[in-house]
Copies of this chain bind each other. A is one copy, B any other.
Amino acid sequence: METNNFLAQNQIFSHLDKSVLKKIEASAQKRYFQAGEWIVHHGDVWPYLFIVGKGEVTAVKESAEGRSLTLVAVKAGEIFWGLAFFLENAPMPAGLTVSQDCELLLWSRETLLPSLLENGRLSWELSCLMIQRVLFASEIVEKLAFQPVAGRLAHLLLDQSSDNSSEQLPRDLTLDEMAARIGSTREMVCRFLHRFSDDGIIHITRTEFSVTDRKKLQDLAQKVK
């Protein structure tokens, strides 16, 4: 089974004995979802922890009036959970939706809890993982509270282009998706993209974009006005 290998590569499970790993692996359910499907809706009680085998899952908050905010994208090899996995009967504060067709390996609370209680290291690693997510949330808060839209967008563009300095990159997010990630609207994103373009910071076409002045973009992202 290649899955064995797959699990062992994960930060959380990597320190377990082979035997324990096998037991845990055997107790997992495999589930498949298609892009656009909801795995869980906001408010549901969902006591599962999962690792993404293939594809991508995103956690999304939604306001009554359709606006939404993407909190995190969980990619292949990464772990995520329903709140009720930890806190019984706690409803999801955000929904989970599938951004790319995916395969999940998931455990219910009852299934995994015994292993967690027996293995201090396993629980510890889980704590560390959660801390990383706390950190991530903390950044979102900071940006929402202090950075104006321009700064948040600049940040997003930097993430997207990572280090690929000045290459042409496909625009694989729609304006609505970008807006959802930075907590704004389609129109705002569009305007700022073109403003950046006018200022010679990025170059943009309908299908591609490239960062021409990475430094200025970083300045914008830093400016914690």
- Seen from chain A, the residues whose Cβ lies within 8 Å of a Cβ on chain B are 61, 63-65, 67, 69, 71, 83, 86-87, 90, 93-94, 113, 116-124, 126-128, 130-135, 137-142, 144-146, 183, 224-225
- Cα–Cα, bound, A127→B112 (Å): 14
Copies of this chain present:
2
A63: contacting residue among B90, B120, B127, B146, CB under 8 A: B146
Cβ-defined contact, A93 with B63, below 8 A: no
Contact B117 A87 (CB under 8 A): no
Return the chain B residue nearest A116 by Cβ: B124
Taking a contact as CB atoms closer than 8 A, the residue among B118, B120, B134, B135 that contacts A122 in the complex is B120
With both chains docked as a complex, state the minimum distance between the C-beta of A20 and any C-beta of chain B, in angstroms. 12
Contact of A144 among B67, B87, B145 (CB under 8 A): B145
Q: Report the Cα distance A86→B130, complex, angstroms.
A: 10
Bound CA–CA A133/B61 (angstroms): 17
Provide the residues of chain B in CB contact with A144, threshold 8 Å: 141, 144-145, 183
Cβ of A118 to closest chain B Cβ, rounded Å: 5
